[in-house]
Amino acid sequence: MQSLDQIFVTGKQWLLAFLPEALQPVGSILLVIAAIFGVFATLFAVTTILERKILGRIQNRFGPNRVGPFGFFQPAADGIKMLTKEDIVPRDADKIIHFLAPLALIIPVALALSVLPYGRNMVPVEFDAGLLFFFAVGASTELSVFMAGWSSRNKYSLVGAMRGIAQMISYEVPLVLSTVTVIMIVGSLSLVKIVEAQSGFLFGFLPSWHVFTPWGFAGFFLFMIAATAESNRSPFDLPEAESEIIAGYLTEYSGFKYALFFMGEYWGMFAISGLSVTLFLGGWNAPFPFLQFIPSYIWFFTKLVLIIFTFIWLRGTVPRLRLDQLMSFAWKFLLPLALTNIVVAAIWFFSRALQFPGALGLRWIFCAAILAVSYVWLGRGVAQAQRAKRVYQYAE
Amino acid sequence: MAIETTFQPKATLGRTAPGNYTLLPKTPAGAIGGIDGTVLEVAMGPHHPSTHGVFRMDVSLDGETVVKLKPVFGYLHRNHEKIAENTTYLGSVPYTDRLDYLCSMTNNWAYALSVERLAGLQVPERAEYIRVITAELTRLVNHCSLIGFLMQDMGAMGTPLMYAFREREKILDLFESLSGSRMMCNYMRFGGCRCELPSGWIEQAKKVVTSFPEFLDHFEALLSENEILLARTQGVGVLSKELAINASITGPMLRASGVNYDIRKVDKYGIYDRFSFRVPLGEHGDVFDRYMMRVLEMRESLKLLEQALAQIPSGPIIDPKAKLRGFRQKPGEAYARIEGPKGELGFYLISDGSPNPYRYRVRPPSLINLTILEDMCLGQTIADAVIILGSVDIVLGEVDR
């Protein structure tokens, strides 16, 4: 089983052995780039068809089922269509920026994908400040939204970009703050170390993932909500709200540029889901000891696909928020809760010293109580739960 | 105002801008000049995904807030009234299907009722029952697809719409077996109905009616308690009672503002006085109330349908005196109105004794309910303007005629 787990690592070393010593670092980098692009382009194709199929199921229809068995070759047909479509640049667009915007999305996202640990010893670029690097390049995707919106010289694009910038900057704050708890507990910014900290099993059989602690649970949900907004997914898909502003900053894009944008958004979603798996769901660790024979990368991608499924499920279920509601949700609810969560994580960290029997249960109850109280208290302000249930009169 | 309604070529940067569209000036000259840092003028429509057809809203936006809104319609004008004046009375019936193409049955009924009033025809009892049944089924079709479209406007990715359409299909199947056409039914005639119910139709309709409440329960479980929906709709697009009455708003929109006015109760046309049903009334007049009005009205329609389907007698379905071909009426005028799913739908006819009506006028509820759009949208955001338009319930075929 060990060999199957490490098959990609040994495969890479075997390939590199053909190269002279001096060229091996370059070869290693090229192999990694090829692997990232190959794997995630495939995952993108699979996700588009799965999304349409699952949405079809949710909406009691079939989804695409004409191309290939069960419609599973639909992404190929879509790709060919996208490539052969006319690439329209509006007459008054800022042509250079209009061209650069999709690239400004896809490159940072690909860089962000390169620091995630996909399996045991399988991290493309391993360095100590992996998490910091992820957020640094992740935040620069906002630039592409602005470039696309401004250069298109279209009013809907402008409104969409305006919304996109406001939303992504606002949600960056709870996104980063929710990961601070993990850094505090693990004591490292290295994503590999964060995954290693979640290996091992509580009482010998329960997974010791961060999501199974009070602060980790709250952090995971804060992170996922902010991630939904960061990747412009429903119910936070305001920058490209179809029913309001056509397609937002994507309105004037067609053909291959549109396809690049589309792929960039999905890759962003994979990157941020992969980060949430790494930080909170134990990375490539198996959930139970007896399942450890399954290779680590399979665990990572299973968790990733489950999170993507949740995104799709959400998209098929809920309506969209309004911009002011979105903002107040970020600043009045997520941000204070994330700050509270940092305090809770600190309490959890320092109460490790308590060693008497039942200390773990006590820590659990105390931390969970703080979070529950602040959740209810903050939620009252945002959810307008005071809203009376309306009763309707009838006239005979 | 930068959006011109007439074609006025403008020289911008040495090129000619097309009418109806003002180019934003190039970036370097004064950062956000052209928007003047204040108001952004957007022509939403006629090809916009959520204007429910070819309808245009010229909106001025201050950031996201609507400061001015001008509804522009007429893109789907097809001379309905003039065509009807050059056609026989019978020949106009299929045209009425195309007014509000979601509810052809009620359109037929309103037209038939006004011709009957003009000619003094008596409608047999069985035909009256069939009319009530088909009209209430039409109300179900209209209201459930409206709620689906409203949720679509709110960004719910078509899931409620598809569920609504599943139920709508069942009712359209009934219409198809009854009239041969799913949407353009062309079923009612002055003096009665075109053809007898096919065998087993009543049982089929009863099946649809008994399964409908379950769908409504699911629908409400998905929507009515949804926190996002409540936040988006409550307090949005408020229409006061006084304004609603002054602007001659009718239908569920009027009742959402708390005015008890249902023509089924007021006029008691047809045989509506024989059934017991209630009229739900809103209180706040916002989008949520308008949504709830539709849900509650569907439940009341189901009660009506149960009673009508149980009581339907046998007998002729058309007045033997009604002479459909070559129908001619001595000079006179008549106005008849019904409570259509969207509001008061009326037809006004003047006869000069010839085979064609001298004057033929439709009172379309969609158009008149739409006139109040700006008052509801001012000060709301552009996202709200879209759902307010959705809650008005317009069909452009009827607005523009």
Tell me, yes or no, whether A248 lies in a domain.
Answer: yes
Mean pLDDT throughout A50-64? 89
Considering chain A, what percentage of its residues have pLDDT values greater than 90? Answer: 15
Q: How confident is the model at residue B22 (pLDDT cuts 50, 70, 90)?
A: low
Q: Are B393 and B366 in contact (CB under 8 A)?
A: yes
Mean pLDDT throughout B245-272? 89
**Residues of chain B with C-beta less than 8 angstroms from the C-beta of A238:** 383
Tell me, yes or no, whether A306 lies in a domain.
Answer: yes
Task: Return mean pLDDT, chain B.
Answer: 84
pLDDT of A386: 56
Identify the domain containing residue A373 by its residue range: 88-385
- Distance in angstroms (rounded) separating the CA atoms of residues B172 and B148: 16
Residue among B387, B298, B373 at smallest CA distance from B59: B373
pLDDT of B129: 92
pLDDT of B14: 46
CB contact under 8 A, A60 and B232: no
For residue A396, pLDDT beyond 80: no
Q: Are A296 and A284 in contact (CB under 8 A)?
A: yes
Q: B82: which 2 tokens?
A: 């003039």
Considering chain A, what percentage of its residues have pLDDT values greater than 70? Answer: 98
Query: How many other β-carbons are positioned within 10 Å of the β-carbon of residue A42?
Result: 11
- Which residues, 6 or more positions from B280, have their beta carbon under 8 angstroms from its beta carbon? A392, A393, A394, B255, B292, B293, B296, B297, B300
CB contact under 8 A, B381 and A324: yes
- Distance in angstroms (rounded) separating the CA atoms of residues B112 and B19: 44
Instruction: List the single best residue of A51, A59, A152, A167 to mutate versus B (max B Cβ within 10 A).
Output: A59
pLDDT of B132: 92
Distance between A382 CA and the closest CA of chain B, angstroms: 10
- Which residues, 6 or more positions from A39, have their beta carbon under 8 angstroms from its beta carbon? none
DSSP 3-state of B239: coil
Mean pLDDT throughout A89-103? 86
Mean pLDDT throughout A266-283? 90
Instruction: Please give the backbone phi and psi of residue B363, each rounded to the nearest 5 degrees, phi first.
Output: -100, 100
DSSP 3-state of B318: strand
Nearest to A60 among B63, B162, B226 (CB): B162
pLDDT of B8: 45
Q: How confident is the model at residue B3 (pLDDT cuts 50, 70, 90)?
A: very low
pLDDT in tens, A200-233: 777 777 788 888 888 888 999 999 999 998 888 8
Q: Peptide bond preceding A108: is omega within 30 degrees of 0, i.e. cis? A: no
pLDDT of B23: 53
pLDDT of B5: 45
Instruction: List the single best residue of A62, A146, A320, A396 to mutate versus B (max B Cβ within 10 A).
Output: A320
Q: How confident is the model at residue B21 (pLDDT cuts 50, 70, 90)?
A: low
Tell me, yes or no, whether A356 lies in a domain.
Answer: yes
Q: How confident is the model at residue A366 (pLDDT cuts 50, 70, 90)?
A: confident
Phi-psi region of A266 (alpha: psi -120 to 50; beta: other; left: phi over 0): alpha
Q: How confident is the model at residue B9 (pLDDT cuts 50, 70, 90)?
A: very low
pLDDT in tens, B342-352: 989 999 999 88
Q: B164: which 2 tokens?
A: 């609504």
Distance between B56 CA and the closest CA of chain A, angstroms: 13
Mean pLDDT throughout A26-50? 89
What does the DSSP assignment read for B32-44?
A: TTTTTTT-EEEEE
For residue A332, pLDDT beyond 60: yes
Q: Is the dihedral of CA B262, B266, B272, B278 positive or negative?
A: positive
Tell me, yes or no, whether A63 lies in a domain.
Answer: no
**Residues of chain B with C-beta less than 8 angstroms from the C-beta of A155:** 24, 40-42
Q: Are B342 and B251 in contact (CB under 8 A)?
A: yes
How far from chain centre, in Å, is Cα A89? 31
Residue A206: strand pairing partners:
A202
pLDDT of A17: 83
Tell me, yes or no, whether A64 lies in a domain.
Answer: no
Residue A393: strand pairing partners:
B281
**What ipTM score was computed for the predicted complex, to two decimals?**
0.81
- Distance in angstroms (rounded) separating the CA atoms of residues B385 and B401: 24
Q: How confident is the model at residue B12 (pLDDT cuts 50, 70, 90)?
A: very low
Residue with token string 């993990």: A182
CB contact under 8 A, B281 and A58: no
For residue B121, pLDDT beyond 90: no
Q: Are A8 and A121 in contact (CB under 8 A)?
A: no
Nearest to A320 among B26, B154, B163 (CB): B154
Burial degree of B48 (CB within 10 A; 0-12, 13-18, 19+) = buried
pLDDT of B2: 47
CB contact under 8 A, B27 and A322: no
Q: Are B116 and B123 in contact (CB under 8 A)?
A: yes
**Residues of chain B with C-beta less than 8 angstroms from the C-beta of A58:** 159
**Residues of chain B with C-beta less than 8 angstroms from the C-beta of A234:** 155, 157
pLDDT of B38: 64
pLDDT of A307: 92
Residue among B397, B367, B299, B369 at smallest CA distance from B102: B397
**Residues of chain B with C-beta less than 8 angstroms from the C-beta of A321:** 228, 231-232
Q: Please give the angle made by the CA atoms of A191, A135 and A368, to the nearest 5 degrees.
A: 70
Tell me, yes or no, whether A239 lies in a domain.
Answer: yes
pLDDT in tens, B214-227: 999 988 888 888 88
Task: Return mean pLDDT, chain A.
Answer: 86
Give the DSSP H or E segment for B369: helix B365-370
Query: How many other β-carbons are positioned within 10 Å of the β-carbon of residue A122?
Result: 22
Give the DSSP H or E segment for B110: helix B104-119
**Residues of chain A with C-beta less than 8 angstroms from the C-beta of B226:** 318-319
- Which residues, 6 or more positions from B329, have their beta carbon under 8 angstroms from its beta carbon? B89, B118, B119, B351, B353
pLDDT of B19: 52
**What is the domain count for chain A?**
1
- Distance in angstroms (rounded) separating the CA atoms of residues A71 and A56: 12
Residue among A142, A121, A171, A162 at smallest CA distance from A7: A121
CB contact under 8 A, A319 and B48: no
Tell me, yes or no, whether A77 lies in a domain.
Answer: no
Mean pLDDT throughout A286-315? 87
pLDDT in tens, B273-329: 888 888 999 888 889 999 999 999 999 999 999 999 998 888 888 887 777 787 888
Q: How confident is the model at residue A384 (pLDDT cuts 50, 70, 90)?
A: low
Mean pLDDT throughout A267-281? 91
A-B CB pairs within 8 A amount to: 130
pLDDT in tens, B140-194: 999 998 998 888 888 887 888 888 898 899 999 999 999 888 889 889 888 888 8
Q: How confident is the model at residue B34 (pLDDT cuts 50, 70, 90)?
A: very low
pLDDT of B17: 47
Tell me, yes or no, whether A334 lies in a domain.
Answer: yes
pLDDT in tens, B57-68: 888 888 788 888
pLDDT in tens, A237-255: 888 877 788 888 888 888 8
CB contact under 8 A, A394 and B279: yes
Q: B24: which 2 tokens?
A: 């934003």
CB contact under 8 A, B279 and A317: no
pLDDT of B20: 52
pLDDT of A383: 62
- Distance in angstroms (rounded) separating the CA atoms of residues B269 and A366: 68
**Residues of chain B with C-beta less than 8 angstroms from the C-beta of A393:** 280-281, 283
